[in-house]
Each structure stands twice: as C-alpha cells, then as structure tokens.
Amino acid sequence: MNQPLCLVLMPFGNKADATGLLIDFDAVYHQLIEPAASQAELQPLRADEEMIGGIIHRSMFERLVLCEYAVADLTTANANVFYELGIRHGMKPRSTVLLFAERTRLPFDVAPLRALSYAIGSDGLPTDVAATVSAVAARLRAARKALPDSPLFQLVDGIRAPELDHTKTDVFRDRIRYSVGVK
C-alpha cells in the first residue's frame, strides 16, 4: 500500500537561531518529524534524501504541488523554507503543518498561522521528544480533514486549487519509489 507523501520543508545540518543557539536540524528531522509522519501513516520526504538527478527546481516544484502533506519548520526564518511555503500555500488549500522551535519569534505574516512549537535544549537537540512526536502526528492526522490551513484559501473568496491529472502524481510517486530504492 502506498502511504501518502509528506514533504518536509526545513533547513539541513546545524544552523543558528535568532539567539545564536546552534540547532541540529537533522536531529529535529530524525527525532521529531520523521517518526511523527510515520506515526500518522505518511511517508516523509526531505529534499536532501531524494536521489533523483536533474534540475533541482523542477523536483522542488513537483514536491510542493504533488505531495499530499507537508511539514514546514519555520525556526530560522530560512528564505528557502518561506519561499517553498508560499508556493505550497498558493497551490494547496490544506494539509500543511507548521513547526518552530519554542524560542522563535515568527515573522509578522506567519505569526497568526496555526503552528506547533517544539523544545530545543541548550545542546541544540530536541527535548520532550515523545510528546512532540505525538503532537506533530496528531496535527498531521487532523490535516486529513477538509479545512483549509492556507491563508490564501482561507481569506480569498472563490479561489480554487488547481486540478492535476492523476497520471502526473503517479509518475511522481514512481520516481520517489525509485529514489527510495536507490537510497
């Protein structure tokens, strides 16, 4: 059985937050997001784990549009994450979950959005792991409901998500399956 794909938008490696704390985002992914997606019966997909060649922008746009679910970590106000989140919100009315490290001050435009905080220790590693995994998994399961989480689809009357031919998603899923096999 094919599990729905859950795209993860986040920084990679170690990055400093606004306070200067060096956060291990690979640990955030492997300890929090990956197990939460699995617990929600989704297949997590992070760009740096994909083993598909070609122009990176094409696969990025395909992932943003074709993955059924997404998790975006807004902790460092990473420009790439925000750019990708904007595209995601413009294309998908629902199924995007927002996260941030609890000491983060979110930028004005995303501050009112429903986002879940997680704890980071002074060593830059996630703390309260079990509770956070459970909370993220619950948010992902709740995202299956038909309520919009995209501010564009919440606030602009009459806007509709584009309809995509199912063969496009089938080919995309086959490429992901191949990538997982190669990895």
- How long is the chain? 183
136 close to 69: Cβ distance less than 8 angstroms: no
Give pLDDT, residue 163: 83
53 close to 94: Cβ distance less than 8 angstroms: no
Q: Is 120 helix (H, G, I), strand (E, B) or coil?
A: strand
pTM of structure: 0.86
Span 11-56, pLDDT tens digits: 999 999 999 999 999 999 999 999 999 999 999 998 776 555 556 6
User: Residues 64-87: what's their mean pLDDT?
Assistant: 94
Domain coordinates in residue numbering, the chain: 5-182
Span 91-129, pLDDT tens digits: 999 999 999 999 899 988 888 898 999 999 999 999 999
Decide if domain 5-182 falls under CATH 2.60.40.
no
Give pLDDT, residue 121: 97
